[in-house]
Structure 1
Amino acid sequence: MSKIGLFYGPEGGNVDKVAKTIAEKIISKKVEVFLVKETDADKLKEYSNIILGISTLGKHTWSSENTVNDWDEFLPKLNKLDLKGKKVALFGLGDHIAYADFFVDSMGDLAETIKPTGAELIGQISDEGYEFNESRAFIDGRFVGLPLDEDFESDLTEERVENWLEIILPEFE
């Protein structure tokens, strides 16, 4: 298997924790981990196998003092890349209780950004075992990637990550 580029943001918190868990489970010699706020989107072109991780922030975390997130500079460059022939798997964090109407929406937005690049999105999963009302990441009866809720379902994260890796790793060459 070729090296995997794992790109995520924000630093610290739940996305950071899950990204490190994923890297450890893959066996770190096969994965290189990058924070999107410290990396140019062009770096994705160096990998045939890519994992992207993002969180969906709730309104309580938005304020006039916190108007920029780690993906703000990365995303506009990402959708202009030519990633034909590359495989991309997504994971997203959200809160299915307080934000049941917006559960992991950012992962859905990220999937929409990836589509014009020509990359193949892999790792879609069913909604079995998930409770939510609406999600832009839920398309045609499946999530576009791995949804996780570290606030209320952290006890399910490890098993969900392991099951998801069983889906995506065989697809990575």
Structure 2
Amino acid sequence: MGKTGVFYGPAKGSVAKVAIVIAQQLGEDSTDLTAIKDCDASSLNGYEKLIFGISTLGRSNWDSEHEDDDWDVFFTHLNQVNWKNKRVAIYGLGDQINYPGHFVDAIGWLYQRLKALNVDVYGAVPDEGYQYTDSEAIVDGKFMGLPLDEDNEPEKTHPRIKNWLNDLKQEGF
């Protein structure tokens, strides 16, 4: 089967670090890494399996004066992708201690946009083991992607990724 495309943004920091870990665990020869700022809708069409990495950046996301980030720009291209036969999974970075009321909200934002396009999204994660008060990523008691907190729980990142990738395989991803 073809390669898995891992598309992530922002291009630096924890989201990029996690993209590299995912590629290593999947096998670097079967994974392509691309910063979302470096692609357009046609970049996604060559993959049947896509993993999107996104972060919830704190106050700037709830401030009406924040500048668009790479994902804000890419969101406008989602309806131009041929989603037929694609399997999509999402991971997201957040801070459950400083922003417990908005933990990994960006997973939810991306998930809602994809569902509106009838995209099959895989890899929901139960919310046990996380400390938060609210999240737009929760649907029926599960995060609609893998939540990670590199600020407060970096030691849990690798095992969570490993378990999530195993779960994705069980789902036929």
Report if TM-score (shorter chain) is over 0.5.
yes
CA distance in 2, matches of 1:126, 1:142: 4
Kindly indicate whether the alpha-carbon contact (under 8 Å) linking 1:126 and 1:142 is maintained by their aligned counterparts in 2.
Answer: yes
Aligned to 1:159: 159
Matched with 1:21 is 21
TM-fit CA distance, 1:128: 1.3
- 1:123 equivalent to 2:118? Answer no
SS of the equivalent of 2:133 reads: coil
The alpha-carbon deviation at position 42 of structure 1 amounts to 2.2
CA distance in 2, matches of 1:41, 1:132: 33
Residues 108, 23 of structure 1: alpha-carbon distance in 2 compared, 3 angstrom cutoff: same
Counterparts of 1:64 and 1:82 in 2: how far apart (Å)? 32
Match of 2:87 in 1: 87
Q: CA deviation at 1:94?
A: 0.3
Compute the displacement of 1:21 (Å): 0.6
Q: In 1, distance between residues paired with 2:143 and 2:64?
A: 31
Matched, 1:100 2:100: yes
1:41-91 alpha-carbon deviations (Å, 9 max, x no partner): 221121110000000011168889961311122111114433022100000
Which ranges of 4 or more aligned residues in structure 1 deviate by more than 3 Å? 60-66
CA contact (8 A) 1:8 1:53 kept: yes
Aligned residue runs from structure 1 range 6-17, under 5 A: 6-17=6-17
Deviation at 1:116, TM superposition (A): 2.6
Q: Distance in 2 between matches of 1:65 and 1:119?
A: 31
When the two chains are superposed, the root-mean-square deviation of aligned CA atoms in Å is: 1.9
Unaligned 5+ runs, structure 2: none
Which residue of 1 is the match for residue 4 of structure 2? Answer: 4
- 1:4 Cα deviation after fit: 0.4
Instruction: Name the residue aligned to 1:144.
Output: 144
CA distance in 2, matches of 1:39, 1:169: 26
Q: Which amino acid in the other structure matches residue 13 of structure 1?
A: G
Aligned partner of residue 129 in structure 1, secondary structure:
coil
Q: Give the 3-state SS of the residue equivalent to 1:72 in structure 2.
A: helix
- Paired residue for 2:114? 114
